Structure 1
Protein backbone atom coordinates (compact mmCIF):
# COMPACT_ATOMS: atom_id res chain seq x y z
CA UNK A 1 0.00 0.00 0.00
CA UNK A 2 1.56 3.29 -1.06
CA UNK A 3 2.78 5.60 1.66
CA UNK A 4 2.54 3.06 4.50
CA UNK A 5 5.69 1.76 6.13
CA UNK A 6 6.22 -0.43 9.14
CA UNK A 7 9.07 -0.80 11.58
CA UNK A 8 11.30 1.75 13.23
CA UNK A 9 11.18 4.66 10.85
CA UNK A 10 12.69 8.09 10.53
CA UNK A 11 10.50 11.18 10.47
CA UNK A 12 12.97 13.60 8.97
CA UNK A 13 14.39 14.07 5.53
CA UNK A 14 18.01 15.08 5.11
CA UNK A 15 19.37 17.28 2.40
CA UNK A 16 23.00 18.22 1.73
CA UNK A 17 24.22 21.72 2.36
CA UNK A 18 27.26 23.17 0.61
CA UNK A 19 30.28 20.92 0.37
CA UNK A 20 32.04 20.39 3.68
CA UNK A 21 29.02 21.32 5.80
CA UNK A 22 27.10 18.89 7.98
CA UNK A 23 23.76 17.53 6.85
CA UNK A 24 20.78 19.44 8.16
CA UNK A 25 17.62 17.67 9.30
CA UNK A 26 14.29 19.03 8.16
CA UNK A 27 10.96 17.78 9.56
CA UNK A 28 8.52 16.46 6.99
CA UNK A 29 5.17 18.23 7.19
CA UNK A 30 1.86 16.37 7.23
CA UNK A 31 3.21 12.84 7.46
CA UNK A 32 1.52 10.71 10.11
CA UNK A 33 3.68 8.80 12.56
CA UNK A 34 1.80 6.18 14.57
CA UNK A 35 2.71 3.81 17.37
CA UNK A 36 0.87 0.46 17.38
CA UNK A 37 -2.75 0.12 16.22
CA UNK A 38 -6.22 0.86 17.52
CA UNK A 39 -7.14 -2.84 17.31
CA UNK A 40 -4.27 -3.65 19.67
CA UNK A 41 -5.43 -1.01 22.14
CA UNK A 42 -8.95 -2.40 21.94
CA UNK A 43 -7.53 -5.81 22.91
CA UNK A 44 -5.88 -4.37 26.04
CA UNK A 45 -2.35 -3.93 24.67
CA UNK A 46 -1.83 -1.01 27.04
CA UNK A 47 1.97 -1.03 27.35
CA UNK A 48 4.15 0.37 24.60
CA UNK A 49 7.86 0.89 24.01
CA UNK A 50 7.87 4.48 22.70
CA UNK A 51 8.67 7.34 25.10
CA UNK A 52 7.19 10.79 24.66
CA UNK A 53 10.66 12.14 23.94
CA UNK A 54 10.88 9.69 21.03
CA UNK A 55 7.33 10.42 19.90
CA UNK A 56 7.91 14.17 19.77
CA UNK A 57 10.80 13.65 17.37
CA UNK A 58 8.13 12.71 14.83
CA UNK A 59 5.59 15.49 15.26
CA UNK A 60 4.39 18.56 17.17
CA UNK A 61 0.64 17.87 16.86
CA UNK A 62 -1.38 14.81 17.73
CA UNK A 63 -3.10 12.60 20.25
CA UNK A 64 -2.96 9.24 21.98
CA UNK A 65 -2.84 7.66 25.41
CA UNK A 66 -0.26 6.49 27.97
CA UNK A 67 0.98 3.16 29.24
CA UNK A 68 -1.51 1.36 31.47
CA UNK A 69 -4.15 3.54 29.76
CA UNK A 70 -3.29 6.31 32.22
CA UNK A 71 -5.33 9.12 30.70
CA UNK A 72 -5.70 10.85 27.33
CA UNK A 73 -2.90 12.64 25.45
CA UNK A 74 -2.93 15.82 23.38
CA UNK A 75 0.12 17.24 21.61
CA UNK A 76 -0.02 20.91 20.67
CA UNK A 77 2.91 23.10 19.61
CA UNK A 78 5.29 20.27 20.45
CA UNK A 79 4.07 19.90 24.04
CA UNK A 80 2.47 16.65 25.21
CA UNK A 81 -0.19 16.99 27.89
CA UNK A 82 -1.92 14.32 29.92
CA UNK A 83 -5.58 14.36 30.95
CA UNK A 84 -5.95 11.91 33.81
CA UNK A 85 -9.21 10.75 35.35
CA UNK A 86 -10.14 14.18 36.73
CA UNK A 87 -9.85 15.79 33.27
CA UNK A 88 -7.17 18.27 34.34
CA UNK A 89 -4.34 18.89 31.87
CA UNK A 90 -0.70 18.59 32.93
CA UNK A 91 2.46 18.58 30.86
CA UNK A 92 3.69 15.00 30.62
CA UNK A 93 7.35 14.11 31.25
CA UNK A 94 9.29 12.84 28.27
CA UNK A 95 10.09 9.56 30.01
CA UNK A 96 6.44 8.42 29.94
CA UNK A 97 5.63 5.74 27.38
CA UNK A 98 2.69 5.33 25.05
CA UNK A 99 0.95 2.21 23.70
CA UNK A 100 -0.87 4.18 20.98
CA UNK A 101 -0.33 7.67 19.60
CA UNK A 102 -0.48 9.57 16.30
CA UNK A 103 1.54 12.72 15.59
CA UNK A 104 2.51 14.88 12.64
CA UNK A 105 4.25 18.15 11.87
CA UNK A 106 1.06 20.01 11.08
CA UNK A 107 1.14 22.60 8.32
CA UNK A 108 -2.37 23.72 7.35
CA UNK A 109 -3.16 23.54 3.65
CA UNK A 110 -6.56 25.22 3.96
CA UNK A 111 -8.10 27.60 6.49
CA UNK A 112 -11.77 28.39 6.89
CA UNK A 113 -13.50 30.79 9.25
CA UNK A 114 -16.59 29.35 10.92
CA UNK A 115 -19.04 32.07 11.91
CA UNK A 116 -22.16 30.08 12.73
CA UNK A 117 -23.02 27.31 15.19
CA UNK A 118 -22.14 23.84 13.96
CA UNK A 119 -22.68 20.54 15.71
CA UNK A 120 -20.50 17.49 15.25
CA UNK A 121 -22.08 16.35 11.99
CA UNK A 122 -22.06 19.82 10.43
CA UNK A 123 -18.47 20.43 11.46
CA UNK A 124 -17.30 17.12 10.01
CA UNK A 125 -19.15 17.90 6.77
CA UNK A 126 -17.17 21.16 6.47
CA UNK A 127 -13.90 19.27 6.95
CA UNK A 128 -14.94 16.67 4.37
CA UNK A 129 -15.75 19.47 1.93
CA UNK A 130 -12.39 21.14 2.42
CA UNK A 131 -10.40 17.91 2.19
CA UNK A 132 -12.32 16.56 -0.78
CA UNK A 133 -10.64 13.16 -1.01
CA UNK A 134 -12.35 10.61 1.30
CA UNK A 135 -9.51 8.11 0.85
CA UNK A 136 -6.79 10.25 2.41
CA UNK A 137 -6.11 10.96 6.06
CA UNK A 138 -6.58 14.51 7.28
CA UNK A 139 -5.22 16.51 10.19
CA UNK A 140 -7.76 18.91 11.70
CA UNK A 141 -7.46 21.85 14.07
CA UNK A 142 -10.23 24.17 15.23
CA UNK A 143 -9.43 27.12 17.47
CA UNK A 144 -12.25 29.24 18.82
CA UNK A 145 -15.48 29.28 20.77
CA UNK A 146 -17.56 26.26 21.72
CA UNK A 147 -21.16 26.30 22.90
CA UNK A 148 -20.40 22.98 24.56
CA UNK A 149 -17.80 20.21 24.57
CA UNK A 150 -18.36 16.70 25.94
CA UNK A 151 -15.14 14.90 26.88
CA UNK A 152 -13.98 11.76 28.62
CA UNK A 153 -10.78 10.40 30.09
CA UNK A 154 -9.81 6.92 31.26
CA UNK A 155 -8.53 5.51 34.54
CA UNK A 156 -5.07 4.03 34.91
CA UNK A 157 -5.43 0.23 34.68
CA UNK A 158 -3.78 -2.58 36.63
CA UNK A 159 -2.73 -5.96 35.26
CA UNK A 160 -4.28 -8.22 34.21
CA UNK A 161 -5.64 -5.50 31.97
CA UNK A 162 -9.38 -5.51 31.23
CA UNK A 163 -10.72 -5.18 27.69
CA UNK A 164 -11.20 -1.58 26.61
CA UNK A 165 -14.96 -1.97 26.34
CA UNK A 166 -15.00 -2.78 30.05
CA UNK A 167 -12.81 0.23 30.81
CA UNK A 168 -14.98 2.77 28.98
CA UNK A 169 -18.07 1.69 30.91
CA UNK A 170 -16.50 3.34 33.96
CA UNK A 171 -14.82 6.29 32.25
CA UNK A 172 -15.16 9.76 33.79
CA UNK A 173 -17.06 12.17 31.54
CA UNK A 174 -17.15 15.97 31.56
CA UNK A 175 -19.31 18.67 30.02
CA UNK A 176 -18.00 22.18 29.37
CA UNK A 177 -20.20 25.05 28.20
CA UNK A 178 -19.34 28.44 26.67
CA UNK A 179 -15.66 27.62 26.54
CA UNK A 180 -12.77 28.70 24.32
CA UNK A 181 -10.10 26.26 23.26
CA UNK A 182 -8.52 24.10 20.61
CA UNK A 183 -9.79 20.82 19.20
CA UNK A 184 -7.32 18.76 17.20
CA UNK A 185 -7.18 15.33 15.69
CA UNK A 186 -7.36 13.20 12.59
CA UNK A 187 -9.86 11.93 10.07
CA UNK A 188 -9.08 8.35 9.05
CA UNK A 189 -10.46 6.63 5.92
CA UNK A 190 -12.92 3.80 6.52
CA UNK A 191 -10.60 1.19 5.01
CA UNK A 192 -8.08 1.82 7.80
CA UNK A 193 -10.45 0.84 10.63
CA UNK A 194 -8.52 -1.13 13.20
CA UNK A 195 -5.18 0.29 12.17
CA UNK A 196 -6.53 3.63 13.40
CA UNK A 197 -10.02 4.94 14.24
CA UNK A 198 -12.10 5.24 11.08
CA UNK A 199 -13.76 8.64 10.88
CA UNK A 200 -12.93 11.44 13.30
CA UNK A 201 -10.80 11.10 16.43
CA UNK A 202 -10.34 14.44 18.22
CA UNK A 203 -9.15 15.73 21.58
CA UNK A 204 -9.79 19.13 23.21
CA UNK A 205 -7.70 21.56 25.26
CA UNK A 206 -9.13 24.69 26.87
CA UNK A 207 -7.60 28.07 26.06
CA UNK A 208 -5.91 28.20 29.48
CA UNK A 209 -4.48 24.68 28.90
CA UNK A 210 -6.11 23.51 32.12
CA UNK A 211 -8.82 21.03 31.06
CA UNK A 212 -9.88 18.77 28.23
CA UNK A 213 -9.80 15.20 27.01
CA UNK A 214 -11.10 12.85 24.36
CA UNK A 215 -14.07 14.51 22.61
CA UNK A 216 -17.34 12.60 22.28
CA UNK A 217 -19.62 15.48 21.22
CA UNK A 218 -19.48 19.24 20.71
CA UNK A 219 -20.99 22.32 19.14
CA UNK A 220 -18.72 25.08 17.85
CA UNK A 221 -19.83 28.72 17.68
CA UNK A 222 -17.12 30.55 15.78
CA UNK A 223 -13.43 30.23 15.09
CA UNK A 224 -10.79 29.08 12.64
CA UNK A 225 -10.75 25.63 11.07
CA UNK A 226 -7.46 24.43 9.60
CA UNK A 227 -6.96 21.19 7.68
CA UNK A 228 -4.21 19.30 5.87
CA UNK A 229 -4.32 16.08 3.90
CA UNK A 230 -2.04 13.20 4.83
CA UNK A 231 -0.92 10.67 2.23
CA UNK A 232 2.10 9.18 4.02
CA UNK A 233 2.00 6.94 7.09
CA UNK A 234 4.84 5.62 9.23
CA UNK A 235 3.69 2.91 11.63
CA UNK A 236 5.87 1.50 14.39
CA UNK A 237 4.54 -1.88 15.53
CA UNK A 238 5.48 -3.21 18.98
CA UNK A 239 7.73 -6.26 19.29
CA UNK A 240 6.27 -7.19 22.67
CA UNK A 241 4.77 -10.54 23.61
CA UNK A 242 1.53 -8.76 24.50
CA UNK A 243 1.21 -7.44 20.95
CA UNK A 244 2.17 -10.83 19.48
CA UNK A 245 -0.70 -12.51 21.33
CA UNK A 246 -3.31 -9.83 20.60
CA UNK A 247 -6.37 -10.54 18.46
CA UNK A 248 -6.19 -7.75 15.89
CA UNK A 249 -9.04 -8.95 13.71
CA UNK A 250 -11.95 -9.74 16.05
CA UNK A 251 -15.57 -10.03 15.00
CA UNK A 252 -17.49 -6.75 15.02
CA UNK A 253 -14.27 -4.72 15.09
CA UNK A 254 -15.94 -1.60 13.70
CA UNK A 255 -18.76 -1.63 16.27
CA UNK A 256 -16.33 -2.24 19.11
CA UNK A 257 -14.11 0.69 18.13
CA UNK A 258 -17.10 2.99 17.75
CA UNK A 259 -18.32 2.01 21.21
CA UNK A 260 -14.86 2.47 22.71
CA UNK A 261 -14.43 5.88 21.09
CA UNK A 262 -17.91 7.12 21.98
CA UNK A 263 -18.96 7.36 18.34
Structure 2
Protein backbone atom coordinates (compact mmCIF):
# COMPACT_ATOMS: atom_id res chain seq x y z
CA UNK A 1 0.00 0.00 0.00
CA UNK A 2 1.36 3.41 -0.95
CA UNK A 3 0.20 6.35 1.10
CA UNK A 4 0.32 9.97 0.12
CA UNK A 5 0.57 12.17 3.17
CA UNK A 6 1.91 15.55 4.16
CA UNK A 7 2.87 17.44 7.27
CA UNK A 8 0.29 19.55 9.06
CA UNK A 9 1.06 22.69 11.05
CA UNK A 10 0.35 23.21 14.72
CA UNK A 11 -3.31 23.11 15.61
CA UNK A 12 -4.96 25.85 17.62
CA UNK A 13 -6.45 24.73 20.90
CA UNK A 14 -9.40 26.26 22.67
CA UNK A 15 -8.80 28.17 25.86
CA UNK A 16 -8.15 25.74 28.72
CA UNK A 17 -6.64 25.65 32.18
CA UNK A 18 -3.20 25.16 30.64
CA UNK A 19 -3.40 28.55 28.94
CA UNK A 20 -3.57 30.32 32.30
CA UNK A 21 0.04 29.38 33.04
CA UNK A 22 1.32 31.23 29.99
CA UNK A 23 3.41 28.17 29.08
CA UNK A 24 2.95 26.60 25.68
CA UNK A 25 1.64 23.04 26.13
CA UNK A 26 3.80 20.11 25.02
CA UNK A 27 2.21 18.66 21.91
CA UNK A 28 1.73 14.91 21.41
CA UNK A 29 2.69 14.07 24.99
CA UNK A 30 0.41 11.44 26.48
CA UNK A 31 -0.94 12.04 29.98
CA UNK A 32 -2.71 9.13 31.65
CA UNK A 33 -4.40 8.77 35.01
CA UNK A 34 -4.40 5.27 36.56
CA UNK A 35 -4.20 2.07 34.49
CA UNK A 36 -6.47 -0.22 32.51
CA UNK A 37 -5.63 -3.11 34.82
CA UNK A 38 -6.92 -1.10 37.78
CA UNK A 39 -10.17 -0.40 35.93
CA UNK A 40 -10.58 -4.12 35.25
CA UNK A 41 -10.26 -4.75 38.99
CA UNK A 42 -13.10 -2.30 39.77
CA UNK A 43 -11.01 0.74 40.75
CA UNK A 44 -13.79 3.05 39.58
CA UNK A 45 -13.05 6.13 41.68
CA UNK A 46 -10.21 8.50 40.83
CA UNK A 47 -8.78 11.75 42.15
CA UNK A 48 -8.39 13.77 38.94
CA UNK A 49 -11.09 16.31 38.04
CA UNK A 50 -12.01 17.06 34.44
CA UNK A 51 -10.67 20.61 34.83
CA UNK A 52 -7.33 19.13 35.92
CA UNK A 53 -7.42 16.70 33.02
CA UNK A 54 -7.74 19.57 30.53
CA UNK A 55 -4.52 21.04 31.91
CA UNK A 56 -2.77 18.04 30.32
CA UNK A 57 -4.55 17.79 26.97
CA UNK A 58 -7.33 18.90 24.62
CA UNK A 59 -7.90 15.48 23.02
CA UNK A 60 -8.51 12.03 24.39
CA UNK A 61 -10.84 9.57 26.08
CA UNK A 62 -11.64 7.80 29.31
CA UNK A 63 -14.48 7.22 31.74
CA UNK A 64 -15.99 8.85 34.86
CA UNK A 65 -16.08 7.96 38.53
CA UNK A 66 -18.39 5.03 39.33
CA UNK A 67 -17.85 3.99 35.68
CA UNK A 68 -20.58 6.48 34.74
CA UNK A 69 -20.32 6.32 30.95
CA UNK A 70 -17.69 6.90 28.29
CA UNK A 71 -15.66 10.08 27.77
CA UNK A 72 -14.46 11.78 24.60
CA UNK A 73 -12.33 14.94 24.60
CA UNK A 74 -12.10 16.91 21.35
CA UNK A 75 -10.77 20.49 21.09
CA UNK A 76 -10.93 20.83 24.90
CA UNK A 77 -14.64 19.94 25.02
CA UNK A 78 -15.50 16.90 27.15
CA UNK A 79 -18.60 14.87 26.31
CA UNK A 80 -20.09 12.10 28.44
CA UNK A 81 -21.90 9.18 26.80
CA UNK A 82 -24.47 7.62 29.10
CA UNK A 83 -25.78 4.06 28.89
CA UNK A 84 -28.38 4.99 26.26
CA UNK A 85 -25.68 6.30 23.92
CA UNK A 86 -26.78 9.93 24.33
CA UNK A 87 -23.98 12.48 24.69
CA UNK A 88 -23.82 15.61 26.82
CA UNK A 89 -21.30 18.06 28.25
CA UNK A 90 -20.19 17.73 31.87
CA UNK A 91 -19.06 20.03 34.70
CA UNK A 92 -15.35 20.39 35.36
CA UNK A 93 -15.50 19.17 38.95
CA UNK A 94 -16.45 15.62 37.97
CA UNK A 95 -13.65 13.11 38.48
CA UNK A 96 -12.22 10.30 36.40
CA UNK A 97 -10.71 6.93 37.42
CA UNK A 98 -9.05 6.42 34.02
CA UNK A 99 -8.37 8.80 31.15
CA UNK A 100 -5.74 9.49 28.47
CA UNK A 101 -5.25 12.92 26.92
CA UNK A 102 -2.77 14.86 24.83
CA UNK A 103 -2.43 18.24 23.18
CA UNK A 104 -3.03 16.92 19.70
CA UNK A 105 -0.70 18.05 16.93
CA UNK A 106 -1.37 15.98 13.78
CA UNK A 107 2.00 15.41 12.14
CA UNK A 108 0.51 13.48 9.24
CA UNK A 109 -2.78 13.69 7.41
CA UNK A 110 -4.35 11.30 4.93
CA UNK A 111 -7.56 11.75 2.97
CA UNK A 112 -9.60 8.55 2.78
CA UNK A 113 -11.87 8.44 -0.27
CA UNK A 114 -12.73 4.74 -0.51
CA UNK A 115 -14.50 2.52 2.00
CA UNK A 116 -12.28 0.93 4.66
CA UNK A 117 -13.25 -1.52 7.35
CA UNK A 118 -11.60 -1.60 10.78
CA UNK A 119 -8.60 -3.63 9.63
CA UNK A 120 -8.08 -1.48 6.54
CA UNK A 121 -8.26 1.73 8.55
CA UNK A 122 -5.77 0.49 11.13
CA UNK A 123 -3.37 -0.60 8.38
CA UNK A 124 -3.26 2.98 7.08
CA UNK A 125 -2.51 4.36 10.53
CA UNK A 126 0.19 1.75 11.14
CA UNK A 127 1.92 2.68 7.91
CA UNK A 128 1.73 6.39 8.67
CA UNK A 129 3.27 5.89 12.12
CA UNK A 130 5.80 3.34 10.80
CA UNK A 131 6.87 2.32 14.30
CA UNK A 132 5.03 -0.41 16.27
CA UNK A 133 6.73 0.57 19.53
CA UNK A 134 5.40 4.12 19.78
CA UNK A 135 1.99 5.46 20.74
CA UNK A 136 -0.15 7.37 18.28
CA UNK A 137 -3.05 9.79 18.65
CA UNK A 138 -5.63 9.20 15.90
CA UNK A 139 -8.57 11.26 14.70
CA UNK A 140 -10.86 10.60 11.74
CA UNK A 141 -13.50 13.15 10.78
CA UNK A 142 -15.94 12.27 8.02
CA UNK A 143 -18.54 9.81 6.85
CA UNK A 144 -19.03 6.30 8.20
CA UNK A 145 -20.81 3.41 6.55
CA UNK A 146 -21.54 2.05 10.02
CA UNK A 147 -20.44 2.50 13.62
CA UNK A 148 -21.02 0.09 16.49
CA UNK A 149 -20.60 1.50 19.99
CA UNK A 150 -21.21 0.53 23.60
CA UNK A 151 -21.34 2.50 26.83
CA UNK A 152 -20.80 1.30 30.38
CA UNK A 153 -23.42 1.82 33.12
CA UNK A 154 -22.94 3.82 36.30
CA UNK A 155 -22.09 1.40 39.12
CA UNK A 156 -22.92 1.30 42.83
CA UNK A 157 -20.75 0.01 45.67
CA UNK A 158 -19.63 -2.65 46.21
CA UNK A 159 -18.33 -2.32 42.67
CA UNK A 160 -18.46 -5.43 40.46
CA UNK A 161 -15.48 -6.35 38.24
CA UNK A 162 -15.48 -4.66 34.86
CA UNK A 163 -16.03 -7.89 32.94
CA UNK A 164 -19.29 -8.39 34.83
CA UNK A 165 -20.31 -4.85 33.86
CA UNK A 166 -19.55 -5.16 30.15
CA UNK A 167 -21.36 -8.51 29.97
CA UNK A 168 -24.60 -6.63 30.64
CA UNK A 169 -24.05 -3.53 28.54
CA UNK A 170 -25.90 -3.02 25.25
CA UNK A 171 -24.31 -2.18 21.90
CA UNK A 172 -25.62 0.58 19.65
CA UNK A 173 -25.76 0.26 15.87
CA UNK A 174 -25.53 3.81 14.54
CA UNK A 175 -25.54 2.86 10.87
CA UNK A 176 -24.56 5.51 8.31
CA UNK A 177 -23.22 8.48 10.28
CA UNK A 178 -21.11 11.60 10.05
CA UNK A 179 -18.87 12.46 12.96
CA UNK A 180 -15.50 12.15 14.67
CA UNK A 181 -13.71 9.01 15.84
CA UNK A 182 -10.63 9.54 17.94
CA UNK A 183 -8.35 7.83 20.40
CA UNK A 184 -4.99 6.15 20.70
CA UNK A 185 -2.94 3.29 19.34
CA UNK A 186 -0.89 1.73 22.14
CA UNK A 187 2.10 -0.62 21.65
CA UNK A 188 1.67 -4.21 22.78
CA UNK A 189 4.20 -4.05 25.61
CA UNK A 190 1.94 -1.52 27.42
CA UNK A 191 -0.96 -3.98 27.77
CA UNK A 192 -2.49 -3.61 31.21
CA UNK A 193 -1.03 -0.16 31.74
CA UNK A 194 -3.18 0.94 28.81
CA UNK A 195 -5.11 -0.91 26.10
CA UNK A 196 -2.73 -2.50 23.61
CA UNK A 197 -3.81 -1.79 20.04
CA UNK A 198 -6.55 0.68 19.15
CA UNK A 199 -8.86 2.33 21.68
CA UNK A 200 -11.31 4.67 19.93
CA UNK A 201 -14.46 6.62 20.83
CA UNK A 202 -17.01 8.17 18.46
CA UNK A 203 -19.09 11.36 18.53
CA UNK A 204 -21.72 12.23 15.93
CA UNK A 205 -21.46 15.52 14.08
CA UNK A 206 -24.38 16.98 16.05
CA UNK A 207 -22.68 16.02 19.34
CA UNK A 208 -25.64 13.98 20.55
CA UNK A 209 -24.65 10.33 20.23
CA UNK A 210 -21.62 8.08 20.40
CA UNK A 211 -19.58 5.91 22.72
CA UNK A 212 -16.77 3.38 22.86
CA UNK A 213 -16.19 1.99 19.35
CA UNK A 214 -16.30 -1.79 18.93
CA UNK A 215 -16.58 -1.96 15.13
CA UNK A 216 -16.86 0.43 12.19
CA UNK A 217 -16.36 1.07 8.49
CA UNK A 218 -15.38 4.49 7.16
CA UNK A 219 -16.37 5.89 3.76
CA UNK A 220 -14.48 9.13 3.29
CA UNK A 221 -12.93 11.86 5.36
CA UNK A 222 -9.77 13.19 6.95
CA UNK A 223 -7.44 11.03 9.01
CA UNK A 224 -4.98 12.83 11.30
CA UNK A 225 -2.17 11.15 13.21
CA UNK A 226 0.26 12.36 15.85
CA UNK A 227 3.14 10.13 16.97
CA UNK A 228 3.72 9.96 20.74
CA UNK A 229 7.01 9.06 22.43
CA UNK A 230 6.57 11.05 25.66
CA UNK A 231 4.28 9.50 28.29
CA UNK A 232 3.31 10.51 31.84
CA UNK A 233 1.24 8.23 34.07
CA UNK A 234 -0.25 9.51 37.31
CA UNK A 235 -1.14 6.67 39.68
CA UNK A 236 -3.82 7.17 42.35
CA UNK A 237 -2.89 6.98 46.02
CA UNK A 238 -6.21 5.56 47.09
CA UNK A 239 -6.95 2.49 49.18
CA UNK A 240 -8.83 1.00 46.22
CA UNK A 241 -5.74 1.22 44.03
CA UNK A 242 -3.49 -0.13 46.80
CA UNK A 243 -5.61 -3.30 47.04
CA UNK A 244 -6.01 -3.83 43.30
CA UNK A 245 -4.59 -6.85 41.49
CA UNK A 246 -2.77 -5.24 38.55
CA UNK A 247 -1.18 -8.43 37.19
CA UNK A 248 -3.98 -10.97 36.65
CA UNK A 249 -3.05 -14.05 34.66
CA UNK A 250 -5.76 -13.49 32.04
CA UNK A 251 -5.20 -9.79 31.45
CA UNK A 252 -4.87 -10.01 27.66
CA UNK A 253 -8.17 -11.85 27.27
CA UNK A 254 -9.86 -9.69 29.90
CA UNK A 255 -8.94 -6.48 28.08
CA UNK A 256 -10.00 -7.97 24.75
CA UNK A 257 -13.45 -8.76 26.16
CA UNK A 258 -13.74 -5.44 27.99
CA UNK A 259 -12.88 -3.50 24.85
CA UNK A 260 -15.18 -5.50 22.62
CA UNK A 261 -12.35 -6.91 20.53
Hey, which of these two has a bigger chunk of strand by percent? 1
Say if 1:73 and 1:82, in contact at 8 Å, map to a contact too: yes
- TM (norm. structure 1) is 0.91
- TM (norm. structure 2) is 0.92
Give 1:12 deviation, angstroms. 7.1
Is 1:217 the equivalent of 2:215?
yes
For 2:129, the equivalent position in structure 1 comes to 131
For 1:167, the equivalent position in structure 2 comes to 165
Which residue of 3, 28, 31 maps to 1:30? Answer: 28
CA distance in 2, matches of 1:87, 1:172: 9
Say if 1:202 and 1:214, in contact at 8 Å, map to a contact too: yes
Give 1:125 deviation, angstroms. 0.4
CA distance in 2, matches of 1:215, 1:234: 25
Structure 1: state its 5+ residue gaps: 1-10, 14-22
Structure 2: state its 5+ residue gaps: 1-16
CA distance in 1, matches of 2:169, 2:62: 16
CA distance in 2, matches of 1:254, 1:89: 30
CA distance in 1, matches of 2:228, 2:83: 31
Residue by residue over 1:53-95, the C-alpha shift from the partner in whole angstroms, topping out at 9 and shown as x without a partner, is 0001100000000000000000011011100111111001101
RMSD of the TM alignment (CA)? 1.3
Say if 1:83 and 1:153, in contact at 8 Å, map to a contact too: yes
Give 1:24 deviation, angstroms. 3.4
For 1:176, the equivalent position in structure 2 comes to 174
Is 1:115 the equivalent of 2:113?
yes
Residue by residue over 1:135-192, the C-alpha shift from the partner in whole angstroms, topping out at 9 and shown as x without a partner, is 0000000000000000000110000000000000111210011110000000000000
Aligned length: 244
For 2:150, the equivalent position in structure 1 comes to 152
Q: Which consecutive segments of 4 or more residues in structure 1 shift more than 6 A?
A: none
